[in-house]
Amino acid sequence: MTTFAHGPRNAITDVPGIRVGHYTDRRNATGCTVILCPEATAAAVDARGGAPGTRETDVLSLPNMVRRCDAVLFTGGSAFGLAAADGVMRWCAEHDIGFPTAARKVPIVTAAVLYDLGVGNPLAHPGAQEGYLAAVRARRGAVAEGSVGAGTGATVAKLLGPDHALKGGAGTASLLGPREIVVGALAVTNAVGSVFDPGTGECIAGPRGEEGEFVTIPEALARRTAQMDALMQNTTLICVATNATLEPHQLQRVAAHAHDGFARAVVPAHTNADGDIAFAVSMGKLEVKPHDLLLIGTLAAQAVEQAVVRSVMLAKGLKGVPSAGEWQRG
């Protein structure tokens, strides 16, 4: 597939105004990732998984008043991890960031969780202090990828249950379009499905089979049992950002395109027990034409594909779960 050129860092931070910070707890196999965007002019969200865990996503709905956010938080710990958003709010408040009200500014921190309780310590999860530290560490430069932040305890290829899983993680990418348009993506991949490189069609992470091999999707689906189905606790979290000035309803379409990229990289996607969700953020620096929306959506989908692939390729084994590269090397 012909693609666009990468940004200088090949990261979501190539979009001006975006900063990313991680908190990583390898001992307990969990963590959180903050995407700071206080200069955002609009935001949207599209949840397609059947079991999302979220906070402050309704505020982005088109009929509502705010329709923007100051930060996006991705966190492990399942619904317990939503407590980390309190720390991001505290950091934003200390820096006079938030939606203006008569009494004080109220930071808008949208958040989504993934389930990693079965990998490390099920009693451990990011809380307010961990969210605060991730915000403190947020930078405009290079973004750490792999088994870091919210991707620390992420796993993929779980069609045959956790005993056949491989490590997932966090990944990012950016693409440059014509007319100075920039689109970046950050993905935390904790998917039940196998992961493919859409550029080559190659499976880069499938359920562990014999001697470093991957079990194919048809074989895995044929071997699935009711017990395996009950263990489907998975989620891929996606954020795309652009320097283009877009309205919330246009960003809603960009978030839909982000899911297109995810579904090309992960099969199956959007299952009934996933919390798959995509956020889209406009930093509002570049005026574009209405017909550029299709270009931006295409860039978003391709950036997500690449971010998902990088999240798996750069992951490292943890708590007995090997990475795809480690498994294939034997």
SS3 content of the chain, % helix, strand, coil (to 5): 30, 30, 40
pLDDT of residue 231: 57
Give residue limits of the domains in the chain. 5-329
Alpha-carbon torsion angle 153, 276, 59, 62, nearest 10: 160
pLDDT of residue 176: 97
pTM, 2 dp: 0.95
Region 5-329: CATH code: 3.60.70.12
pLDDT of residue 224: 78
How far apart CA 193 and CA 181 sit, in angstroms, is 32
pLDDT of residue 1: 54
- Indicate if the alpha-carbon torsion angle 301, 51, 151, 61 is positive or negative: positive
Q: What is the mean pLDDT of each run of 10 residues along the chain (330 residues)?
A: 86 98 98 98 92 91 92 97 98 97 96 94 97 98 97 95 94 97 98 94 94 89 71 84 96 97 93 87 93 97 98 96 89
Supply φ then ψ for residue 329, to 5 degrees. -75, -15
CB 152 within 8 A of CB 109: no
pLDDT of residue 330: 66
pLDDT of residue 248: 94
pLDDT of residue 157: 94
pLDDT of residue 275: 82
